[in-house]
Structure 1
Amino acid sequence: MVRASHAAAIVLLAATSIAQVGAQAADAPACRGTIYLTFDTGSQSQAELIADTLRRHHIQATFFLANEKTVRGDWSLDPSWADFWKARVAEGHAFGTHTFDHVYFQRDEADGRIVVKPQFGAHAGQRLTWTQQQYCDELRRVDTRFQQLTGRHLDPIFRTPGGHSSPNILAAARACGYRHVGWAPAGFSGDETSSDTFPNALLLKRALDKLKDGDIFMAHMGIWSRKDPWMPANLEPLITGLEHKGFCFATLKAHPDYRAH
């Protein structure tokens, strides 16, 4: 008899818990759309702020990685950043390559080659003419380093520095399994612009007014040149404002243009 009563109590408790979960799910606001937050490496001055903000809001984002000079005096893909990137992997974020030496596109050549200009590395500031295989190798350098740091491969996506792509670059990337990711017109954070001409309040309002379902948003993990940095002032209000408008967030692995890839 005691056992029967105990079993009945367990069943009642389980039913109550299920009902509570169901009520909470019913109370939760439905997503009116999805925004895909993406962050490119930079000076890394905002790296911890980004991580803390995403964690508090339970948001998973997508990071595009290059080996860039940081405010700590090291490089963003040095072993000194291994714990940071491992933590982001554990949180379920997505990761793409941004070219190892932050290589800017200059122009396409008629024979399929690509004229580029690395910002960092042994050939920083030099104009180089690469074959498509060399460009592919540059994309893969990030994957190799990321695997060394975290034990995980990158997702098969990339973003060129500045977002400038070309037919030859896209062909090179396709040959080694990568798809290019840009951003929506309203998804440009403006963190590279002059803070005198584009103050943070203006950039925040523009994003909140114009971002729509399916848009990819891009910001950097720290910019050397902007006098009034975008990130500390705008990241939290941007996320909160979008949440209040009913938006949810996801990595590019859930984006309709990239999830099958």
Structure 2
Amino acid sequence: MGVILCSRAARKRPLRVLLDEDIMSVLQNSDDSEDGLDFDDDSLADPDFVPEFETFEHNTTEFDINVDSIIETLENSNESSLPSPPSAETASNVTGPQPSLAQSSQSKQTTKKPTKVNLRWKKKSLQLNAEQLRFKSNQNLGTELLELETPIQFFFYLFPQELIRMIAEETNLYQVQNDPNSTFRVTDMDIRQFIGIVYLMSLIRLPRVSNHWNAILGTAVIQDTMSLNKFEKIRQTLHFNDNSKNLPRNDPEHDRIFKIRPLVES
């Protein structure tokens, strides 16, 4: 049993569900059907039976339902539950302020402009504090090392004259083995200069080795010491051991550091 409202109210809001007590009260206290057309069995036995509509109209007044009032109540309730449209102020807060064309163009120009760094180069001696000069190894310096004073003395301590001569001889030997017709040879002085240039390159960093001989970016002391062609030639042929004595890898006596063994043992 239920009350069918108009389709307008049904579309806007679902019908209110009757409580179980209300349904039981209607079923128990009402003798007629909700539409008042509950004819007795005489209507089936006598096809010519006509119900008394006066009684029907009289009985419906006892259970009167104000449908218009229900529809109006549902419409008011539905309108109050709908979300209100955003105001102009709310919309502006959501979208945020829109920058003008001039501001957008100005911001693009400022982002593309690189930051200029002003560098001032000063020519002076390298000054290090006591902490930077302190020896931080886990071994004490030997007496012979503490007696050294000049840079060239430290250089010969690391690269003795015998080692320099051996490197020059092995480099020339490799050059003959690789190209017997080549006349390129190196001297002990060439090896010392080559090692000194490599040390200096570790302090003066440039994108490429050849940049040290560049007219603008180059390092003058390197350019005055050795030409680029000679430096590259020594770098290609530099050797520390005789390759002809190197045993194959499958040999049990193969030495994995054969090519630099003289440097390790020196």
Range class of TM-score, shorter chain: under 0.3
* Larger Cα-atom Rg: 2
The answer to which structure, 1 or 2, has the higher relative contact order (CA under 8 A, 6+ apart) is 1
**TM-score (ref. length: structure 2):** 0.20
**TM-score (ref. length: structure 1):** 0.20
Which is strand-richer, 1 or 2?
1
